[in-house]
Structures are given as structure tokens and as C-alpha cells.
Amino acid sequence: MSRLERVSAGADTVLPGRRSNHHIFGLLPWVLLALALLLVFSQVRRPALLVEVWVPWIEVGVLAFVMTAIILTGGIDLSVGSMVALTGMVQAVLWQDWGWSIQAAAGGALLAGALAGGLNGLLVVAGLSPLVATLATMALYRGLAITVAGGDRITGFPQSFLDMGRLLGIPSQFWLAGLVFLGMVLLVHHSRFGRWCFAMGDNRQAARFAAVPVNKVEGVLYTINGLVAASVAVLGAMRHDAAIPDAHIGTELQVIACVVVGGTLITGGRGSVLRSLLGLAVISHLDVGLQFLSSRLVWLTAESRLIAIGILLILVAVWNQRSQKEG
């Protein structure tokens, strides 16, 4: 296969499993994943435990699938973590202080998420840099999350609500992740909307000149992000029986890390949702695997895990860059 064709395969981002794996460099994340998996499963005696350990990473993944689309358009949303915390608090306050039923309160949380995401979208459409605009709302939403209940956590949700935290014995987060993943794959790779996202990320002005409704695309994506953040918050409340105002601090960085390790270009125009799943798999396996190992290996402490993940992030990013560049 000639170099040119390889480049075109790399640029054509629909399904890496189908096209980019011609490229030997593209295999690196898979290899790492396999190694990490080996690490994990050689250590586990009770797989059920594994599922529980994985829930926080699954939440990150749900957010990463939507973030992929946003980054593809050349945007970014730093406020996801804050939106999860805020919508969680909104639900709890609606239920506890306003006397709403827990279902109605969950609906209220989703609405709040859509509003928060919509505001992000509005700011971006108005012409603010997404990085700065969502940096501002990140602080703003966090502040609101702390303010609505005076900084306290709220617990004691009804049992019927907590019972929904599992479906068929599996934490609901997994079901949500499946749903969001499928939805985003369809939206990004198999719809007109997704084609628009790629065009915007590659050259926003040219997209506008080609009659792509750039404002609509951005508005919709950021709103979806708010909605999904709210779903994560509602499911989180079921799981922990608590709404915590300072939950999910730093989640945005983990989310972005998954997207980047997957190989989506941080400047947009190139990438895929499946790749972000890959990124999530690599990072989470490494983290969970090392966590398991650390009970045995004394030197494998929390800090060496952090350092390992940081180094991994940079290495994989460099690798992706090298294998996608040329031309």
C-alpha cells in the first residue's frame, strides 16, 4: 500500500478497525490494551468485583463519547465535571427541598443539564473561544453546585430510586455507556450531522461557506453534552445514594485524556468515537490493573500510577501524531 493511500486511510476516520489498522502504528494502542488486560485478569479472582471498580471509568467514558464529537468540531467542553455535580445537586434539591417526586426531580436534573449545556453552546456560538467560555462556566456551575445546598451533600434517596442503580445485575452506568456509545457512533459516523462536525473541525469557515449550519451543530452538541452529564449525575446518585457538590473535580481532564489517547486530533477534524472507546480502554485498564497489582508490589504506589498514566498519555499522543501526520 502506498504512502498516499495510507494517509487517506488515516484521514478518513470512520471506522479505524476497518481502515486504519492497515497502518502498523495504529496498532499500538491495541497492543498496550492487551498488555494491560493481561495484567488485570491475571490478578483477579472475583470478576464481579471488577465491574464495580470500573464504574467511575465508565462514567468518564460516557462523557468521552460526547466529548469526541465536540472536539471533532474544533471545540472543547471543560465544564462537564461541573455539570455532573450541578445537575446532581439540582436533582437532590428539587427532591429534598422542593418536595418533587424523585422521578420529577430526575427530569428536572436533565432539564438543568440541557440548560447548562445550552448556555455553553450559546457562548460558543456567540463567538467566544470554547476553551475560555467553558473554563468560565466550569467555575460558574461548580459555584452553583456548591451554593444550591450550602455546600452540603444530600443523601437518603428513596430505596426504589436506589434500586434502579442496577439493571439485570449490572450497574446502570454500563447500560448508559452502551446507549450513548451507539448513539454517538451513529450521529458522528453515519449521519449528515457527523459529516458536518468533521468539516467544521477541519475548516470552520469553509464549512460555513458550504452552507453547513455551524451554529446549529455547536448548539446541539453542547446541549447533548449537558444532557448526558445530567444522566451521569442521576445514575451516580442511584449508586452512591448521595449528591455531592464537589464530585467530579478533574473529570474533564480524564475525559479529554481518553479522547486524545484514542487518537482524535485535539484541534478537530480527525478522529472517531470508537477510538475514544479504545482510549478509555487503555487508560482505564492501566489504572485498574495497576490498582490491583499495587496490593502486591510495594513500589507500585498511587504516585507511580499517576506518573505512568501521564507518560502513557504523552507517548500515545506522540505516536498518533507521528502515524497520522505526513503530507
Partner 1 sequence: MKNEKPPILQAVNIRRTFPGVVALGGVSLDLFPGEVHALVGENGAGKSTLIKVICGALAPDSGELFFQGREVRWSTPVTARAQGMVTVHQEAELFPTLSVAENMALAAGLPLRRAGLVDWNRVHRQARETVRQIGERIDVRQPASRLSVAHRQMIQVAAAILQNARVVVLDEPTSALSGEEARWLFQQIARLKADGAGILYISHRQEEIFRLADRITVLRDGLKVWTRSRQSAGPEEMIEAMVGRPASTLGAAPSGQEGSPAVKEGPARFQVSGFTDRGDRFRQIDLEAGSGEIVGIYGLVGAGRSEFARAVFGLRPAEGLVRIDGSRRRIDRPREALKAGIAYVPEDRLSQGLCLGLPVRSNAVLSTLRRWTRGLLASRSREQQATRQVAGRLEVRYRSTEQPVQQLSGGNQQKVVLGRWLLAQPRVLILDEPTRGVDVGAKAEIHRHLRHLAREGCAILLISSELPEVLEHSDRMVVFREGEIAGEFDPRRASPAEVAALALPRQRAGEASAAESLSPGSRFQGRSFNELALLLCVAGLGLWLTVSTEGFSLLNLLTHASLWAILGLAAASVIVGRGIDISIGSMVALSAASTAMVLKLPYSAELLIPLAILAGLLAGTAAGVLNAVLALLGGLHPIVVTLGTLTIYRGLVIAMLGGKPMTGLPPEFGRLAIDPATGFRGAVVVAALAVLLVYLWMSHTRSGRHVYALGSAPRAAGLLGLSKSRLWPVTFGLGGLLAGLAGVLQLSMGQQMQARLGAGWELSAIAVAVIGGVSITGGRGTVLGVVLGALLLRLVNSALVRWGVSDQQTDLVVGSLILAALLLDLAWRGWKR
Residues with Cβ within 8 Å of residue 223, at least 6 apart in sequence: 114, 117, 118, 121
Considering only residues 220 through 259, tell me which ones interact with partner 1, judged by CB under 8 A. Answer: 249-250, 253, 256-257
Identified binder of partner 1 from the candidate list 157, 198, 222, 292, rule CB under 8 A: 198
Per-residue mark of binding to partner 1, 3-22 (x: CB under 8 A): -xx-xxx-xx-x--------
Residue 317 identity: A
207 binds partner 1 (CB under 8 A): yes
Residue 195's Cβ-count burial label (10 Å; 0-12, 13-18, 19+) is middle
Closest separation between CB of residue 206 and partner 1, Å?
Answer: 5
* CA distance from start to end of the chain: 16
Choices 34-42, 153-161, 199-207, 236-244; region in contact with partner 1 by CB under 8 A: 199-207
Residues with Cβ within 8 Å of residue 101, at least 6 apart in sequence: 95
- Location of C-alpha cell 500500500: 1
Cell numbers at 98, concatenated? 422542593
Closest separation between CB of residue 324 and partner 1, Å?
Answer: 10
Choices 26-34, 90-98, 183-191, 220-228; region in contact with partner 1 by CB under 8 A: 183-191
Closest separation between CB of residue 46 and partner 1, Å?
Answer: 28
Selection from 228, 221, 226, 220 nearest residue 173 by Cα: 228
Choices 107-115, 161-169, 200-208, 235-243; region in contact with partner 1 by CB under 8 A: 200-208
Considering only residues 306 through 325, tell me which ones interact with partner 1, judged by CB under 8 A. Answer: 306-307, 309-311, 313-314, 317-318, 321-322, 325
Give the H/E segment covering residue 167.
strand 166-167
170 binds partner 1 (CB under 8 A): no
